[in-house]
Structure 1
Amino acid sequence: MKPPAFAYHAPDTLGAALAALAEAGDGGKVLAGGQSLVPLLNMRLAAPAELVDINRITALDTLEVTAGGVRVGALARHSRVERSDAAAGVQPLLRRALENVAHPVIRNRGTVVGSLAHADPAAELPAVLALLDGTVEVRSATGRRTVPAGAFFTGPLESALLPGELAVSAFFPALPPRTGTAFRELSRRHGDYALAGVAVTVGLDEDLRVATARAGYLGVAATPVVLDLTGPALAAQEGRPAGECDWAEVGGYAAARLDPEPDIHASAEYRRTLAGVLTERALRAAAAEGGRSDS
């Protein structure tokens, strides 16, 4: 299969890329890793009039790690972020999610920000960014803006990016001390999109009881779903340490609040049940990690 004809731009500066996107308007599309875009082009599910290849803009190939979080530039590959011990030390969910993204050959080329801009509700990184209340920095020829994750994902394969805009980086905030994280998903085959998945954070107080619990879901709705599970977790632990919390009860609470759609791979009820089981397992693991981090 061959893609439809398009005009090709290969700028080597951000300014030139933004100028090309401004001129292209609605007909412009950005090429970074291309692991999602190229198949869509070849199957003619996407037909941009102009393609702006940003791979020569070395200023976008950045990975900045600070105590406050991890900022990933638009050309940072999945594999680079996955292998960064510094990034994993500040925000472990990045590595844990990226380990589940397709296969190594895909991660060697695909980009973190490109995955976010693609806004696939079955992808891992949008759920992580939404759970962490992260942000996406967007640039255009006329200015810049910072979009919170809660407003960035607007529908299946739809984001808040406007014609002429480029997502130049994403910020994944760090978490407070005594906070554990975990990521769980289930797919039919390793590397496939998950039937359902969840990223969680569990924060503990000084007595190692649950103080906060949150979960971000993929594969269960048109956009990432974030649930605050603090109330159910507090009720389920009944004043006991987090290790003795009835996490199955919390998983059931979460499942009851999800409304997935059925498809050829799984029924809605199966996805709901699966999400509840994955939530229970992830919360238990995150709570254990939070307890260990205090030692």
Structure 2
Amino acid sequence: MKPPPFDYEAPETVAEALDVLAEGGKVLAGGQSLIPLLNMRLAAPERLVDINRVAGLDTLEVTADGVRVGALARHSRVERSAEAVSVQPLLRQALRHVAHPVIRNRGTVVGSLAHADPAAELPAVLALLGGTVEVASTVGRRVVGAADFFVGPLEPALVPGELAVAAFFPALPPQTGTAFAEVARRHGDYALVGVAALVALDDDLRVREARAGYLSVADTPLVLDLTEPAVRGQTGRPPGSCDWSPAGAHAAERVEPDDDIHAGADYRRHLVGVLTERALAEAARNALPGER
């Protein structure tokens, strides 16, 4: 299939891009989500704004506070960045599950967030970490928290004329670990269920905090606080040891997935419990001193 007709613009500065977007149009960065939508005629923008020539959007900045990813930073670049992984390992843990290497070589982190697909890995990561998206327009810039950025399926909190220029993933505190787990029909397919997990330990190596972010179970990324059932699961156990089944059961009870052609709601709920246990256990191991 072929896309519907559209006008093509290729600005070279952020200001030029914003001027063009102010007149309407759809942003093209990696194109790994947009191009299939165009070819299937599920999207029909009158104007395509290709930002790949825009200077200054391919940045990857790593500080002690976190990782700032520019709008043109490719999945593969972030995945392979040792500096980014040292500050926020969940990025690599999740990106390894995104499609296939050839897709990650072209797709962009910010583009995935702006696409706001509830079955995608990176929106769940940003939501779990409490990250932000920096948005620009001709009237200025604003920063949108993850809790407010994902409005609905394929619906980010962007208004016409705005461009998502960067995303920020906060760093992990000491003795905090992360992990990512998902089940898909084939490696590289969208996940039937995916879980991003975070566990923080106290000085006695007991669970201080446990949270998980889920994909493919709701219209937007779902984040659950699992601290209480996690703490309950370590009662009477030695430091560093925990029974994660209460947390898995707690999560399974609180999701409300839908049936679709790929999986039933009951099966997805079962996967939530199993993957929650698995991801939290790995995150706790990664939180131990010297492991991250």
TM-score category (smaller protein): over 0.9
The 5 A counterparts of 1:253-268 are 253-268=250-265
Q: Which residue of 2 aligns with 1:181?
A: 178
Cα separation, 2, equivalents of 1:180 and 1:273: 24
The offset of 1:291, in angstroms, is 1.5
Match of 1:140 among 129, 134, 137: 137
Query: SS at 2:240's partner residue?
Result: helix
1:209–1:239 Cα contact (<8 Å) kept = no
Q: Which residue of 2 aligns with 1:18?
A: 18
Unaligned runs of at least 5 residues, structure 1:
none
Cα-Cα RMSD: 1.1
Cα separation, 2, equivalents of 1:131 and 1:267: 25
Match of 1:289 among 270, 286, 289: 286
The offset of 1:242, in angstroms, is 5.3
Cα separation, 1, equivalents of 2:252 and 2:61: 36
Q: Deviations over 1:125-157 (max 9, x none)?
A: 000000000000000011110000000001110
Letter in 2 for 1:214: R
Q: Deviations over 1:226-258 (max 9, x none)?
A: 001111111121153453211012111111101
Cα separation, 2, equivalents of 1:87 and 1:9: 32
Query: SS at 1:251's partner residue?
Result: helix
Match of 2:160 among 138, 152, 163: 163
Q: Which residue of 2 aligns with 1:9?
A: 9
2:175–2:200 Cα contact (<8 Å) kept = yes
Cα separation, 1, equivalents of 2:212 and 2:286: 16
Letter in 1 for 2:83: A
Unaligned runs of at least 5 residues, structure 2:
none
The 5 A counterparts of 1:1-295 are 1-24=1-24, 28-238=25-235, 240-241=237-238, 243-293=240-290
**Runs of at least 4 residues of structure 1 off by over 6 A?**
none
Cα separation, 2, equivalents of 1:294 and 1:239: 24
Letter in 1 for 2:9: H
Letter in 1 for 2:149: F
1:243–1:284 Cα contact (<8 Å) kept = no
Greater percentage in helix: 1
Cα separation, 2, equivalents of 1:248 and 1:152: 31
Deviates more, 1:87-96 or 1:282-291: 282-291
| Number of residue-to-residue matches in the alignment | 292
Compute the TM-score of the two structures, normalised by the length of structure 2: 0.98
Cα separation, 2, equivalents of 1:100 and 1:242: 31
Letter in 2 for 1:33: G
Compute the TM-score of the two structures, normalised by the length of structure 1: 0.97
Cα separation, 1, equivalents of 2:237 and 2:138: 55
